[in-house]
Structure 1
Amino acid sequence: MSKRLNGLMAAALAAFISTPALAILPDSGMWSIGAELNGKPGRGIQIDRQGGSTLILTYFGYRADGSSLFLQAAGTLKDGKQFDGVLTEYRNGRALGGQPRDGEFAQEAGPVRIVFDSSTTATITLPGEAPQRLQRFQFEDLRNRLNFTFFHSSAQDYARMSSSGEITFKVDANSLIAVERSNAGSIACEYSGNLQPTGDSFSSEGTAQCFFGATSQAYLYNMRELKVDEFGALTARFYFRHPSYPELRPSLRSVAGICKGSAANIDVYRCDPSDLKLDPGLWKEW
């Protein structure tokens, strides 16, 4: 990586403390520009974010003569949603199969601005172009990982986990139904809402009916970063609002769990690669 890009990153890190706590943090990965996603070779944006608000942006596209081009920029989110940087071109780096050689600064292509409205959608303004939509490129369908029962626990306002329970999801193309049960087996909450892919996770908004003994209460819910990884581990953030007071700050539950497998024994095994429809080689880390 060039010294110039390192310098841009250092400046971005120095500005980190000014980022609001409720920033929209974009999903790392490949993003498509406007309506250019048509199955043919085209342009795109690669965004890398490593858990904070500092971004490295790589643009890949073409020059006017048709030759390929890549540009880079780095910076920090401003006002919790806006990225501003300068796209920079480099040259004379190491070629495929060639001898080691350091690249060097070629020229600045111009300013780039991205205004995020969610973790997977935004508006981008490229040099010499009008603002256009930018969206996370979705190339794999991970919905099947949600269709399990999970042993789970959660944390709310205090730094401790609640008693364990179970939550069962049933999802299809764009809807989610879930039933949450206490460790005693009684229904705690029932959820019904939409389902939207957000990179390697999902979001869902809808209504929840939660039970407290003989009484129940309806809530508006929003599930963020709903994800089941390659090892069957569930993580998510559940936000709840009272429907009569939607303007109030939502209540947050951080949820973690593990999916139940199909094999029965003295105890219930966690799910395995065959349950998740994965290549068993993905589990061979050791």
Structure 2
Amino acid sequence: MLKRLIAAVALLGAGLAQAFMPQGGTWVVTSEVNGKPGRGLALDAQNGILVVQMYAYESGGQPTFYLASGALQNDRFSAPLMRYSGGRYFGSGPRSGVEAGSPGNVSIRFTSGATGFITFPNEPEVAISRFNFGYAFAPASLRGVWTFTSFGSDGTLADVVELIQQGNPTANGNGLVANSNATFGCEHQVRGSLAGGVLCVKINTAGQLLRGYFFAYSVNEGEGVSNREGKGPDQVLIVRRLTTSQGVGTGIVYKAEDQESAPPGALASHIERLAEGWEADN
């Protein structure tokens, strides 16, 4: 898994100063996630600029918020963490907040678009991660409409699929989820060297393997590798969730068409075979 994803990231980042951008949204200090109120971060990266909003507490227990912004270079960021006060409250008239000092700099080094490490003023470095509260590592989380776009020596290829029907788990997975005619299926891998990622296959209605996909994802976005008939060379793969399992769009709405079904069991068979082959390569 790591070898193939690192290769994909290397290709994506060739000639670029930034191999990835952190996902916008709610981030947490990983060790502080315990189901109780605590500290949290909202990150937004646009065109090399990172904005960090943080909610935390004063030494006396009062809640407060901070803001930092600046350049994100080589997956690293450092800027003063500014405190603000005096702004509008619920029911107030127009009021403008003012800067109320800074406890010091906040520094972040990102290890992927969804993970990293942060150093707060007067604290040691700790791990942070994109907070995924909507999609458990379970088969049902793969339901919905997805796009798969890969590029490389085979050219630029794209698939749009709606994963709607859940089947039994394969040898290394926790439950196969397929489209309506069972020609495209994906599964979370929970054992072997691919554990932690998602393995997908595309087959024809005769049950023959056309393409394999392997990726890691967070919430609605994923990156990984794709290859023809389960063989090299690998292509860079970009994955995007377009709708939830309830059909709610995450940005684009797509309706799948009915197609002829593939033989029963063909998707599961290819998933297991590819898992063994990829595992042997690592």
Deviating above 6 A after TM superposition, structure 1's stretches of 4 or more consecutive aligned residues are: 148-153, 163-167, 182-185, 231-235
Instruction: State how far apart, in whole Å, the 1-side matches of 2:249 and 2:202 are.
Output: 14
Instruction: State how far apart, in whole Å, the 2-side matches of 1:85 and 1:190 are.
Output: 43
1:187 matched to 2:243: no
> What corresponds to 1:92 in structure 2?
86
Q: Is the 8 A contact 1:76 1:83 kept in 2?
A: yes
> What corresponds to 1:227 in structure 2?
240
Q: Is the 8 A contact 2:217 2:223 kept in 1?
A: yes
> What corresponds to 2:184 in structure 1?
168
Instruction: State how far apart, in whole Å, the 1-side matches of 2:102 and 2:147 are.
Output: 52
> What corresponds to 1:128 in structure 2?
122
Amino acid at match of 1:92: G
* TM-score between the two structures when normalised by the length of structure 2: 0.61
> What corresponds to 2:220 in structure 1?
200
Identity of aligned residues (%): 25
**How far has the Cα of 1:152 moved from its partner?**
6.9
Q: Is the 8 A contact 1:123 1:134 kept in 2?
A: yes
Alignment partner of 1:177 out of 191, 199, 203 = 199
**How far has the Cα of 1:199 moved from its partner?**
3.5
1:115 matched to 2:129: no
| Cα distance change on mapping 1:95 and 1:146 into 2, 3 Å | same
Correspondence 1:260-271 to 2 at 5 A: 260=256, 264=258
* TM-score between the two structures when normalised by the length of structure 1: 0.60
**How far has the Cα of 1:146 moved from its partner?**
3.7
Q: Which has the higher contact order (CA 8 A, sep 6+)?
A: 2
Q: Is the 8 A contact 1:150 1:257 kept in 2?
A: no
| Cα distance change on mapping 1:35 and 1:113 into 2, 3 Å | same
Computed over aligned residues only, the root mean square deviation of the Cα atoms, in angstroms, reads 4.1
Amino acid at match of 2:31: A
| Cα distance change on mapping 1:148 and 1:221 into 2, 3 Å | farther
> What corresponds to 1:210 in structure 2?
228
Instruction: State how far apart, in whole Å, the 2-side matches of 1:29 and 1:168 are.
Output: 30
Amino acid at match of 1:230: T
Alignment partner of 2:66 out of 59, 71, 83 = 71
Q: Is the 8 A contact 2:149 2:158 kept in 1?
A: yes
Alignment partner of 1:23 out of 16, 19, 22 = 19
Amino acid at match of 1:134: I
Instruction: State how far apart, in whole Å, the 2-side matches of 1:32 and 1:151 are.
Output: 28
Q: Is the 8 A contact 1:87 1:109 kept in 2?
A: yes
Correspondence 1:144-155 to 2 at 5 A: 144=140, 146-147=142-143
| Cα distance change on mapping 1:75 and 1:84 into 2, 3 Å | same
Q: Deviations over 1:73-116 (max 9, x none)?
A: 0011112x001111001111111111111111111221010000
Instruction: State how far apart, in whole Å, the 1-side matches of 2:89 and 2:248 are.
Output: 41
Q: Is the 8 A contact 2:153 2:233 kept in 1?
A: no
SS of the equivalent of 1:24 reads coil
- Which protein is richer in strand relative to its size? 1
**How far has the Cα of 1:190 moved from its partner?**
2.9
> What corresponds to 1:137 in structure 2?
131
1:41 matched to 2:57: no
Q: Is the 8 A contact 2:82 2:102 kept in 1?
A: yes
Q: Deviations over 1:5-53 (max 9, x none)?
A: xxxxxxxxxxxxxx94443200001111141110000001110124x22
Unaligned stretches of 5+ residues in structure 2: 1-14, 162-182, 191-195, 261-282
Alignment partner of 2:53 out of 50, 58, 73 = 58
Q: Is the 8 A contact 1:165 1:182 kept in 2?
A: no
Q: Is the 8 A contact 1:120 1:135 kept in 2?
A: yes
Q: Is the 8 A contact 2:146 2:241 kept in 1?
A: no
